[in-house]
Structure 1
Amino acid sequence: MTWQPVQIVGGAYRDDTRPFSCQDTVNLLPLKAERPGGKSEWILRSAPGYRQFVATQNRPVRGAHNAEGLLLMVAGRTLYRVNTNKTTTVLGTIPGVGRVGMAHNQLEAGNEIAIVNGQSGYVYNTAVGALSPITSAAFPGSYVVDYMDGYIIGVDPFGRFWFISDLNQATKYSTLDRQDAEAQPDKVVTAIVYGDLVLVFGERTGEFFENTGAETGTFQRVRGVTMDIGCAAPHARARMDNSIYWLGNDGNVYRLQGNSPVRISTSAIEQAISGLNWSNAFAQVFEDRGHKVFYLTFPDGHTWGYDVLSGEWHRMQSFGLNRWRLNTLTSWRRKWYGGDFSNGKLYELDWDEMTEDGAPLVAERVTAVSHAYGNPIIVDGVRLEIDVGRADVGVSDHFCSISYSDDGGHNWSDPAMVSIGQAGEYRRTVELRQLGMTRERVWKVRISSPAKRDIIAAAWKASGGRS
């Protein structure tokens, strides 16, 4: 028998009919080689872990925003400025417990950062260093805000209309600068800026608006350009890679191509989220080292990530949870920072950190089905090639576990624990022998090592057995 390749790399694609496909990819990023000549065509890259940057006594982190180098964070009911020396400065109070929307404009001597919680709004003026409530009678409240051409954009929390502020005045609003759904009667859910347009999502439709330059009624609908896809939740949309990504009202995930929605979710993901609460879903993005990832978190379910670089989906999952701990992702000073959903901490993400602030960051890959078209197979061995990086002396859990299923992922063998390298080693081949007879096999690899653990390739020794 000779070693034959096993499809180890792939995205998350776990169908309800598991013998058809039970693939899963957790805390790993599928990455395709961009040039020939590598060890394999794909690898599974370790997702970045994180360590504490600042800690607050308030929870959760409800929102974060980088306003031209000034990082603001809402944790609990408190608005903080995050300082480069890993301290925070209290700036004021933002009532509520849910997510907040944040956006900023430009002033002659600084910025105005608008912060909304659904019922009310607040503005932090960097020029005077003061936080004040929006008291304009024409401001209805909003769950989300965005910025375009000097205007702060919001959506009425009852879905009646969307609106803009006065020009370069985040605290002032007019009832004359409101727009409702025009193409079809539809409740407005959210809005987001797309290039030189505003994309306004209803429950069932999407419309585009442009700045006409008029003193009132400044934004008008672009005629003849509509979508028959709405958005499922106010925060379930994000801007990335010169496009808009969102969770549609039909439970599919879309990317905007031109002015048309293109489905990027798979039937497996749509099955997985079908029974969840879509109204609480929220989106965020991560763009680093070529990866451009749209993350969609369901607080009552999982966190799914779509990477434009590979076109594959994966999951992020924190230890002891179904979802990822990170409630926010913000780029600041050429690094990425994530806010915790429960403890008020802000973390610094790091590709070389393989824990979640000291907690295990467990990577898992469940492979595609290996089979011989129903013929019996004797499995003499399986081999994995893992680039593990350098483990510190004294590290005791530099191991992986390997198990397998012969019934499409319903039942699994007892996991075999295998070392993936001693201190000072970089590349490790892991091998198991005498693994029985089967007609099909799925492999599960789990790694919780605090050092790098990129999965490069896999192979097995298998031959035909007697029926």
Structure 2
Amino acid sequence: MNWQPVEIVGGAYADDTRPWTSQDTVNWLPLRAERPGTKTAWILRSPPGLVPFCETQARPVRGMHNAEGLRLVVVGRTLYRVNANKTVTALGTIPGVGRVSISHNQTAAGNEVVIANGQSGYVYNTAANSLVQITDDAFPGSRVVDFIDSYIAGVDPYGRFWFISDTAQATQYNTLDRQDAESQPDKIVTLIVTGNQVLVFGERTGEFFSNTGQATNTFARVDNVSMSIGCASPYALARLDNTVYWLGHDGIVYRLQGNLPVRVSTSALEGAIADLDWSNAFAMTFEDRGHKVFYLTFPDGQTFGFDVPAQEWHRRESYGLKRWRINALIRWGARWYAGDFQNGRIYELDWDTLTEAGQPLVSQRRTAVSHADGNPIIVDGIKLFFDVGRSGAANDDHYTSIRYSDDGGHNWSSAAVESIGGAGEYQTSVEVRQLGMATERVWEVEVSSPAKRDLIGASWLAGVGQA
């Protein structure tokens, strides 16, 4: 028998028919080699952990925004400014408990930051350092807000129309600057600006609007351009990689290509979310070190991430939870910051930290099915290739557990626990021997060490036995 590669690296692709596929990738980021000469074509990279940056007395984090370097966050019923010295300054009250949508424009003296809580709207003026509610009679309240061509765009809370503010005036509105859904009479759910157009999603359709330059009725629908795909939630969409990703009303995740929806979800993911509450799903994005990830969280379920360069899905979980604890994610300068849904903490994402605020960051990979077309396989060993020996001298948790299933993931063997190398042990071999006989096998690798633990690949020592 000779050592043969095992397809250890992949995405999250588990199906109800487990013997067909029970693949899963949790808290690892699939990364494809871009040049020849690498040890394997893919690795599973450890994601950045969470380092507490500052904390408020309220909860939860409802939304975050970068207003040209000004760090703003809504936690509980309060709008805060996050300061460089890791303190926060309360700026005023934003009623409600649900998610907020935030955008901003530019004025002669600074910015007007608009916060929509689903029913009403508020404007924080950076020059005057004041937070006021929008009281213009022409402002109906808003589900979401976005910025285009010096206007703030919003959606009526009842889905009857979408609208814009006056030019560079976030507190002033005109009832003549409202647009209905035109291609089909469905309620408007949300909108997002893409390029120089506003993409307006209804319950079953999507339409594009562009600036006509007129003083009123400023935006008009782009003729003969519409989609028969709506959006499932006001917050389940985001800009990423020069386009838009969103959860469609049909439970499929799409990417906008030109003016057309292109499916990026898989049947496995669509099955996994079929019974979840789509109406409360929300999206976030993350871009760093070659990764561009569209994250989609279902508060009653899980968090799924689509990495655009890898074209693979993975999952994020926080310790003791089914979902990732992050409720908002934003870039400030060269760093990424996140807000917690359970408390008022703001975290800094750090590639060198493999915990979440001191809690374990547990990574797991369930592999594709290895088999020999129904013939029995004698498994003499499996060998894993980690980035070993990167543990700190004081870390006594530098181990991985390995187990396997011979029935598609219904039942599992006892876990074998192996070292991934203490401090400086760069030649550590992660190997388990004498693993029995099977007609098919799925491997599960799990590691919670706070040390670097990128998974590079695997091989197994196996041969076909007598039937």
**Conservation of the 8 A alpha-carbon contact between 2:209 and 2:220:** yes
| Equivalent residue runs for 1:54-453 within 5 Å | 54-388=54-388, 390-426=390-426, 428-453=428-453
Q: d(CA) in 1 for partners of 2:168 and 2:428?
A: 58
Q: d(CA) in 2 for partners of 1:432 and 1:310?
A: 30
Letter in 2 for 1:435: L
Q: CA deviation at 1:416?
A: 1.1
Stretch of structure 1 that moved more, 32-41 or 417-426 = 417-426
Q: CA deviation at 1:426?
A: 4.0
Q: d(CA) in 1 for partners of 2:319 and 2:389?
A: 22
Q: CA deviation at 1:296?
A: 0.3
Q: d(CA) in 2 for partners of 1:63 and 1:256?
A: 24
**Conservation of the 8 A alpha-carbon contact between 2:389 and 2:420:** no
Letter in 2 for 1:252: I
Q: Deviations over 1:315-372 (max 9, x none)?
A: 0110000000000010002100000001110000011110001000000000000000
Letter in 2 for 1:444: E
Q: CA deviation at 1:427?
A: 5.7
- Which blocks of at least 5 consecutive residues in structure 1 are unaligned? none
User: Secondary structure of the equivalent of 1:105?
Assistant: strand
Letter in 1 for 2:47: A
User: Secondary structure of the equivalent of 2:397?
Assistant: coil
User: Secondary structure of the equivalent of 2:38?
Assistant: coil
User: Secondary structure of the equivalent of 1:279?
Assistant: helix
Letter in 1 for 2:420: I
Letter in 2 for 1:114: V
Tell me whether 1:44 sits opposite 2:44 in the alignment: yes
Q: Deviations over 1:364-383 (max 9, x none)?
A: 00000000000001100000
User: Secondary structure of the equivalent of 2:429?
Assistant: strand
Counting matched residue pairs gives 467
Q: d(CA) in 1 for partners of 2:431 and 2:417?
A: 11
User: Secondary structure of the equivalent of 1:461?
Assistant: strand
Letter in 2 for 1:298: F
Q: d(CA) in 1 for partners of 2:243 and 2:420?
A: 40
What TM-score does the superposition give when structure 2 sets the normalisation length? 0.99
Q: Deviations over 1:371-396 (max 9, x none)?
A: 00000011000000000452112312
Q: d(CA) in 1 for partners of 2:17 and 2:50?
A: 35
Q: CA deviation at 1:183?
A: 1.0
**Conservation of the 8 A alpha-carbon contact between 1:61 and 1:341:** yes
Q: d(CA) in 2 for partners of 1:298 and 1:439?
A: 37
Q: d(CA) in 2 for partners of 1:464 and 1:149?
A: 66
User: Secondary structure of the equivalent of 1:456?
Assistant: strand
Q: d(CA) in 1 for partners of 2:394 and 2:181?
A: 63
Letter in 1 for 2:44: L
**Conservation of the 8 A alpha-carbon contact between 2:389 and 2:422:** no
How much identity, in percent, do the aligned residues show?
A: 69
Q: d(CA) in 2 for partners of 1:458 and 1:100?
A: 44
Q: d(CA) in 2 for partners of 1:240 and 1:75?
A: 25
**Conservation of the 8 A alpha-carbon contact between 1:387 and 1:428:** no
Q: Deviations over 1:402-442 (max 9, x none)?
A: 00000001111111111110122346430000000100000
User: Secondary structure of the equivalent of 1:268?
Assistant: helix
**Conservation of the 8 A alpha-carbon contact between 1:389 and 1:453:** no
**Conservation of the 8 A alpha-carbon contact between 1:386 and 1:427:** no
Q: d(CA) in 2 for partners of 1:98 and 1:305?
A: 22
- Which blocks of at least 5 consecutive residues in structure 2 are unaligned? none
**Conservation of the 8 A alpha-carbon contact between 2:205 and 2:227:** yes
**Conservation of the 8 A alpha-carbon contact between 2:405 and 2:413:** yes
Q: d(CA) in 2 for partners of 1:290 and 1:5?
A: 26
**Conservation of the 8 A alpha-carbon contact between 2:81 and 2:91:** yes
Letter in 2 for 1:356: E
Q: d(CA) in 2 for partners of 1:457 and 1:118?
A: 47
**Conservation of the 8 A alpha-carbon contact between 1:162 and 1:179:** yes
**Conservation of the 8 A alpha-carbon contact between 2:389 and 2:428:** no
Letter in 2 for 1:340: D
Moved over 4 A (4+): none
User: Secondary structure of the equivalent of 1:271?
Assistant: helix
Q: d(CA) in 1 for partners of 2:82 and 2:159?
A: 33
**Conservation of the 8 A alpha-carbon contact between 1:386 and 1:428:** no
Q: Deviations over 1:126-168 (max 9, x none)?
A: 0111101101111111121100000001001111000111110
Stretch of structure 1 that moved more, 383-392 or 297-306 = 383-392
Letter in 1 for 2:78: T
**Conservation of the 8 A alpha-carbon contact between 1:385 and 1:427:** no
Letter in 2 for 1:181: A
Could you say if the C-alpha distance between residues 427 and 177 of structure 1 is closer, same or farther in structure 2, counting changes exceeding 3 Å?
farther
Q: d(CA) in 2 for partners of 1:89 and 1:229?
A: 42
Q: d(CA) in 2 for partners of 1:290 and 1:2?
A: 35
Letter in 2 for 1:235: Y
Letter in 2 for 1:323: R
Could you say if the C-alpha distance between residues 426 and 61 of structure 1 is closer, same or farther in structure 2, counting changes exceeding 3 Å?
farther
User: Secondary structure of the equivalent of 2:338?
Assistant: strand
Letter in 2 for 1:168: A
Could you say if the C-alpha distance between residues 336 and 389 of structure 1 is closer, same or farther in structure 2, counting changes exceeding 3 Å?
farther
Could you say if the C-alpha distance between residues 217 and 306 of structure 1 is closer, same or farther in structure 2, counting changes exceeding 3 Å?
same
Q: Deviations over 1:241-283 (max 9, x none)?
A: 1100000000000000000000000000000000000000000
Matched with 2:32 is 32
